[in-house]
Amino acid sequence: MIKQEFLILDAAVGEYTLFQQLTIESGVRYFRTLVESTGNPINAHPADYTLFHRGEYDTETGLSVCAELRPNLGNGLEFNIGRKEPLQEPSNVVEVKQESFPRVESS
C-alpha cells in the first residue's frame, strides 16, 4: 500500500515531525484538526507550524520516495479558521531550503 508522508515544521525550534496518511487530502485534514483542537502546541502557536508533503511510502517494500520540491501545503495560520483571539506572528522564523531537511537524531 502506498501512503503519503508529511512533515510539520516547528519554526520555533527548527525541527520537523513526520506523519503518514493515505491521501494528501487526509494529511491536510489531519493537520487542520491539530490546528483547530485545543490543548496542543500547534493550536496554541499556529504561526510556528507549517505542513509539507514529503513524498510517498510503500508499506510493502519499506521504501520512501521523496518529492523533489517538498511542496509547502500551508502554515497553521491558514488552517486556523475558527480561532477567536488575535493571531500572533511566529516566535522564531526559520528559513526552509527546499533541497535539504535536517535529520532528527533519535535518543
What is the rounded CA–CA span in Å between residue 79 and residue 32? 6
Query: Which amino acid would we find at residue 61?
Result: T
The pLDDT value recorded for residue 83 is 53
What are the pLDDT digits (tens) for 40-90? Answer: 999 999 999 999 999 999 999 999 998 776 789 999 998 876 654 544 444
Task: Return the C-alpha torsion angle 40, 44, 48, 49, nearest 10.
Answer: 40
What are the pLDDT digits (tens) for 5-22? Answer: 999 999 999 999 999 999
Return the sign of the alpha-carbon dihedral for residues 44, 46, 48, 50: positive
pTM of the model as a whole: 0.72
